[in-house]
Structure 1
């Protein structure tokens, strides 16, 4: 059986789905909670709803969500003799790494789509906003799907190496904090961090924290280049590590 197909089958009973759906929905509701309680309408319409949703989400909940997904996807391999069974399969180390990372990245992508749909739903159903969100918000969602791939690969690698469910999540929480600080000091140079890359993209165009409020072609190009290079480098590094961990005694 193909490595990716096997991973997709495992998702049927995975606990990842509550994270994929619940995390963005809860954060969108939390962002709108004050106005919902006061019965007021967002001052700048869709822009306000979007900022309230992604402003906090991009700082560390996004990274933590990816980390939880990584731990859940790898959890089964750390039980019993499953690791040795995995490594004795016909699939190469590269295929295993790519399959695991692809599943985590795919779940993360769905999380971004659900975030956008949640913003749309809260704006229409709770605030009765006219029209649709600005096309910029949809573009940022698509860009965020790409920009979170390196973080998905990195968290996959950490969860591969660590049997602990919680430690990779703690690493993501701490690293996202350091990366946000690095973004504030070094700007786009901090995009070398997968967590910084995810945060920078989520806050793009919001004018909050690490963002100046304008989206330039240079920013988008930097994000795409960092995402592509980060993904390739992390996949190769994770594969090299896995090649030296054939079995566990």
Structure 2
């Protein structure tokens, strides 16, 4: 039944333009990558290029997309009594909530894949001679995706609670804007969900570039896991009691 719920979610998106958003962040990051001068960074060209692209992808658009996807998966149910129709089916609220969260994370995984492709493509186009760090790229994509879990859980909670499609997005934008300032704080940055994807992806590069932002990846992942469980449990408890 869980997979059937996910399949029904995919059917909703087939007729929408949400798919176009999967390419927005990688393409804009690629544009910044083309404008990044890596010629004088011998030995660390790939990571220097990555740092420039991450300021667009990880610091800005990845958190924004997390909020957009989370709001989108609840949009149909908020319209015309969709929650009543969905929950009238022989499915549990737990299955419904987790299925929607799974769809959000699938979208983010696809976005991460395209970002790595963009990183590789830009590097090849700029003539970087060193081999592409494929293992590091996979690690960077994975930890960045994992770091989206707390924010996705929080945004799904908010999007489930508010019928307005715009309100959760506005909140997400408001809290994404201070990212560059929060990222400079060694004390507060690891605990700020909107900046965690950027920090984890940058730190997964072993601090080879932008050491000022470097925070041990183990510390970040512990914080990410803890905050994810808090937001997930909070959202589930709310959804279980939500009146439809």
Q: TM-score range by the shorter chain?
A: 0.7 to 0.9
Q: CA deviation at 1:64?
A: 0.7
Aligned residue pairs total 235
Equivalent position of 1:16 in the other structure: 18
Q: Does 1:235 align with 2:237?
A: no
1:48-63 paired onto structure 2 within 5 Å: 48-63=48-63
Equivalent position of 2:201 in the other structure: 202
Equivalent position of 1:112 in the other structure: 112
Q: Is the 8 A contact 1:59 1:199 kept in 2?
A: yes
Q: Is the 8 A contact 1:105 1:153 kept in 2?
A: no
Secondary structure of the structure 1 residue equivalent to 2:213: coil
Structure 1 runs (4+) deviating above 4 angstroms are none
RMSD: 2.4
Q: Does 1:244 align with 2:244?
A: no
Secondary structure of the structure 2 residue equivalent to 1:185: coil
- The separation in 2 between residues aligned to 1:64 and 1:89, in whole angstroms, is 32
- The separation in 2 between residues aligned to 1:105 and 1:228, in whole angstroms, is 15
Structure 1 pair 226/41, CA: closer, same or farther in 2 (3 Å)?
Answer: closer
Q: Give structure 1 stretches of 5+ with no counterpart.
A: none
Equivalent position of 1:4 in the other structure: 6
Q: CA deviation at 1:130?
A: 2.3
Q: CA deviation at 1:25?
A: 1.6
Q: Give structure 2 stretches of 5+ with no counterpart.
A: none
Structure 1 pair 191/87, CA: closer, same or farther in 2 (3 Å)?
Answer: farther
Q: Does 1:73 align with 2:70?
A: no
1:10-159 paired onto structure 2 within 5 Å: 10-32=12-34, 34=35, 42-44=39-41, 45-124=45-124, 126-134=125-133, 135-159=135-159
TM-score, with length taken from structure 1: 0.83
Secondary structure of the structure 1 residue equivalent to 2:194: helix
Q: Does 1:223 align with 2:225?
A: no
Q: Is the 8 A contact 2:182 2:189 kept in 1?
A: yes
- The separation in 2 between residues aligned to 1:41 and 1:220, in whole angstroms, is 25
Cα deviation 1:15-64 (Å, max 9, x = unaligned): 321111222222221342x35xxxx6643222232122112322222111
Structure 1 pair 136/150, CA: closer, same or farther in 2 (3 Å)?
Answer: same
- The separation in 1 between residues aligned to 2:211 and 2:88, in whole angstroms, is 47
